[in-house]
Chains A and B, each alone.
Chain A
């Protein structure tokens, strides 16, 4: 669509409601898994589900999936990569000291 703000992507109400349902279902899964003993996966699986949920929020609610332009496509992955390296290196320093 094209208005005073220039071109933008209009997202359907239905898409948002489906994403919300996905988030609620993932919350249900992660809460019910918490009661079980997953041993060494007990940290990994909840964090994986949290990453999936934030992917849905970033992609749809925050419109990253619909953004056009190189800056958007580069800026966010670069910062997230830096953060991952930052956390990874610090953690391995603590773990293998």
Chain B
């Protein structure tokens, strides 16, 4: 049986999915904007407690992983499969590093008894409870996306090692890359909203 593959429409399909992801996070961003507007002082105090150094570090990790992802696709298109696998491995490594840093951050917050519904958090001002609720929900959902991205990219790496993805057929790698870059863009907005704007 002959299979027909259409490069452009597979990319458009991926973009449609990414746009629906933007709308999903868009809803949470609206919630953040509305609650911040209603509780400016509480949001200010809560945001000052987040670790800005870890947040910045994670931003740099994710930006760099986007670079290695783009380089991985480019080197495959140029015909250098080994280099491409190496770049893809770096991307996966940086994705895992992001999750490790994130888990350190969450663990230290939970050690200070700040997590949804914790007695200590419930004793604080309403706006701070909302801020931490949004913090856990939005960075949690984003972290889940990073985890899915790491799994998808690992599958791509296996397919590349087996030669199923190659210079003549790179659409799956390109589409996974698009997803990875979108996850990066979402973090680019989450970072200032939670760590910088105080």
A residues lining the B interface (CB < 8 Å): 1, 3-6, 8, 10-13, 16-17, 19-20, 23-24, 27, 30-31, 33-34, 42-43, 46-47, 49-50, 53-54, 57-58, 60-62, 69, 71-72, 75-76, 79-80, 83, 86-87, 90-91, 94-95
Contact of A3 among B66, B69, B167, B189 (CB under 8 A): B167
CB pair B197–A62 under 8 Å, yes or no, is no
B188 within 8 A of A: yes
| A24: chain B residues within 8 A (beta carbon) | 60, 63
Q: Which residues of B come within 8 Å of A, CB atoms?
A: 7-8, 12, 15-16, 19, 22-23, 26, 29-30, 33-34, 37-38, 52, 56, 59-60, 63-64, 66-67, 69-71, 74-75, 77-78, 167-171, 177-178, 181-182, 184-185, 188-189, 191-193, 195-198
Contact present for A83 and B23 (CB under 8 Å): yes
Q: Roughly how many angstroms separate A77 CA and B71 CA in the complex, as a whole number?
A: 26
Min CB gap B89→A, angstroms? 17
Contact of A86 among B7, B8, B30, B56 (CB under 8 A): B30
B19 touches A75 (CB 8 A): yes
Contact B189 A54 (CB under 8 A): yes
Majority SS at the chain B contact face: helix
Interface on chain A toward B: helix, strand, loop, or mixed SS? helix
Whether the Cβ atoms of B70 and A4 lie closer than 8 Å is no
Whether the Cβ atoms of A6 and B8 lie closer than 8 Å is: yes
Q: A11-B70, A30-B196, A86-B26 are in contact. Are A95 and B37 (CB under 8 A)?
A: yes
Q: Which of B15, B66, B168, B189 contacts A50 (CB 8 A)?
A: B189
Known A-B contacts A75-B15, A86-B30; the reply to A43 vs B197 at CB < 8 A is yes
| A57 touches which of B29, B78, B185 (Cβ 8 Å) | B185
**CB-defined contacts of B181 to chain A, threshold 8 Å:** 57-58, 61-62
Contact of A72 with B185 at beta-carbon distance under 8 Å, contacts A10-B74, A20-B67 already known: no
Indicate if the CB atoms of B77 and A57 lie closer than 8 Å. Answer: no
Cβ of A3: which chain B residues have Cβ within 8 Å of it?
77, 167-168
Contact A42 B74 (CB under 8 A): no
B134 CB to nearest A CB, Å? 15
Minimum CB–CB distance for A9 against chain B, Å: 9
B70 partner, pick from A33, A61, A95, beta carbons under 8 A:
A61
Residues from chain A with a CB closer than 8 A to the CB of B168 are 3-5
